[in-house]
Amino acid sequence: MALMTGEEFVESMRNMKLNIYMFGEKIENPIDHPILRPSLNSVKATYDLAQMPEYEDLMTVTLDDGRKINRFTNIHKSTDDLIKKVKMQRLCGQKTASCFQRCVGMDAFNAEWSTTYEIDQKYGTHYHDNFKKYLSMVQDKDLTVDGAMTDPKGDRGLAPHAQSDLDLYLRIVERRDDGIVVRGAKAHQTGIINSQEVIVMPTVAMGPDDKDFAVSFAVPTDAKGITMIIGRQSCDTRKLEGSQMDVGNSEFGGVEALVVFDDVFVPNDRIFMNGEFEFAGMLVERFAGYHRQSYGGCKVGVGDVLIGAAALAAEYNGVPKVSHIKDKLIEMTHLNETLYCCGIACSAEGTPTESGNYIIDLLLANVCKQNVTRFPYEIARLAEDIAGGLMVTAPSEKDLNDPEIGGYVKKYLKGIDGVSTENRLRILRLIENLTLGTAAVGYRTESMHGAGSPQAQRIMISRQGNIGRKKELAKAIAKIKEQE
């Protein structure tokens, strides 16, 4: 099958029978719902861009067997693949100024590829074959796949098997000849309502008592027993008002969901881990590494838009040449490009796994994500500083266009000559959207908690930092000899 167009993707989602709830009501038509549609448009953009000749090298891959696929379904076979992944993500961030939602599936593919191979090597299982057949189907149909890792976790001080409510970590509740039955939930699932499939993975390293929780598989998102409960975002109901200006980014966005698996059946050929607890940590670590690399691309692309918006706000305010404004824009650019450097560096230092696909340098990937937990916050602060208080005190578009009071708004909230009040307010609303509104979930807050909390990266940096070797280097330079 050829690559899907954006419209074909939308129609494929329209045919799904997803069980979605929002504001206490079941959503019968999520495709056209004004709150949900912008998130669908962000995924649609990944299909549209793949159809454009100027982006073909970044957005698509031609496999050894001649199949042309979307890069979001690719298995990285070289450092060049890893680098192009980051460049593709920056492009998508630039084009949508939001989360475009296919990264988690791509990162899950690559983590599953190598982990299933190594499980099979130890136990003689058939998980790698299962996964290869599954991935080939996804590539041929050009599907969007959600990667589901984060469990609700309950008491973080207790292992999965020790929870008072065992369902707080997704688990196997029945093993049958033809498959397994699972129960539990996955939280913060960005883009799952716009995905045809979901790959479920464990969320922590596990011990022998956690065998039922060491499970990985794939099922359609409209499988029986799956319920999606949409999370709230700041300013989300503005999308119901019909104002293009007031939402800041009217076309694109992202939404998250709490996804409940209520006794969902998984057939044998879609199981990628079934009780091999000692490999749970490997799968988590590899997925997290790939996903932390991703943030060196996607967040940088959104950062490009925010920097551009701040520069326009300064221009419309009449202060583009003021020294402290120029210095703030320089600092924003410096921070954003530093994140990109980290994403490219961990890619360029990638190495092959036993299975043949390439994994990033885990230390540098975690350094990348640790910086992402900080730099976007400073970029957002500087953008708000440049924009000024009107960003959060401006009247609505209805006030701007009201026959009685609109004249006042246009007169008193005007900036420089030659730029309409409407355009000035539009750029301020975009900055609000990226730093405080619905897109802040996909930029600022997600920068903190996406792909693991800041402490998770610090733990990995400690493990990968090789302090022992650095001590030996210092001893050699200082001519230190150990006493016998």
Catalytically annotated residue among 73, 190, 373, 438: 190
Strand partners, 229: 21, 258
Can you tell me the distance from the alpha carbon of 362 to that of 9, in angstroms, rounded to the nearest whole number?
34
Does residue 235 carry a catalytic annotation? no
Torsional sign, CA 133, 89, 46, 13: positive
> Within its chain, how far is the Cα of 325 from the centroid?
31
In Å, how far are 71, 92, 153, 167 from 101, measured between CA atoms? 13, 10, 23, 26
Catalytically annotated residue among 127, 134, 290, 295: 295
Read off the tokens for 61: 């891959």
Can you tell me the distance from the alpha carbon of 214 to that of 277, in angstroms, rounded to the nearest whole number?
5
Q: What is the dihedral of CA 170, 296, 110, 363, to 10 degrees?
A: -90
Does residue 99 carry a catalytic annotation? yes
Cβ-based neighbour number of residue 316 at 10 Å: 23
Does residue 112 carry a catalytic annotation? no
Say if CB 200 and CB 151 are below 8 A apart.
no
- H or E segment to which residue 274 belongs: strand 271-274
- H or E segment to which residue 60 belongs: strand 60-62
Q: Which residues are annotated as a binding site for FAD?
A: 190
Say if CB 40 and CB 10 are below 8 A apart.
yes
Catalytically annotated residue among 46, 60, 76, 99: 99
Beta strands in 90-224 (DSSP E): 145-148, 171-176, 179-186, 197-200, 215-220
Can you tell me the distance from the alpha carbon of 365 to that of 61, in angstroms, rounded to the nearest whole number?
23
Does residue 298 carry a catalytic annotation? yes
Say if CB 218 and CB 64 are below 8 A apart.
no
Can you tell me the distance from the alpha carbon of 306 to that of 448, in angstroms, rounded to the nearest whole number?
17
Catalytically annotated residue among 33, 47, 103, 276: 103
Does residue 103 carry a catalytic annotation? yes
Q: Exposure string (b/e) for 225-261, b if CB count within 10 Å is 16 or more?
A: ebbbbbbebebbebbeeebebbbbbbebbbbbbbbbb
Does residue 92 carry a catalytic annotation? no
Give the 3-state secondary structure of 295-355. HHHHHHHHHHHHHHHHHHHHHHHCCCCCHHHHHHHHHHHHHHHHHHHHHHHHHHCCEECCC
Q: Please, which residues have CB within 8 angstroms of residue 431's CB and are 6 or more apart in sequence? A: 248, 306, 309, 310, 313, 383, 384, 387, 391
Catalytically annotated residue among 92, 298, 346, 368: 298
Q: Which residues are annotated as a binding site?
A: 190
One-letter amino acid at 257 equals A
Say if CB 339 and CB 371 are below 8 A apart.
yes
Catalytic annotation, residues: 99, 103, 190, 256, 291, 295, 298, 446
